[in-house]
Amino acid sequence: MSWSLRPSTNLVNVYVSALRKKLGENVIETLRGFGYRLRT
């Protein structure tokens, strides 16, 4: 199976949103221009 994702795909945003709902809003921090970080 070959995965072909377009740059405009919001797949990561969907997963991060689902994780924030499960873990809490303040657990995952968005680092603009870099990605995401889990807060400890």
Residue 10 has a pLDDT of 86
Percent of the chain with pLDDT over 90: 62
Average pLDDT over residues 8-36: 92
E strand or H helix at 38, and its extent? strand 35-38
Tell me the one-letter amino acid at 27. V
> Would the pLDDT of 21 be above 70?
yes
pLDDT at 5 over 80: no
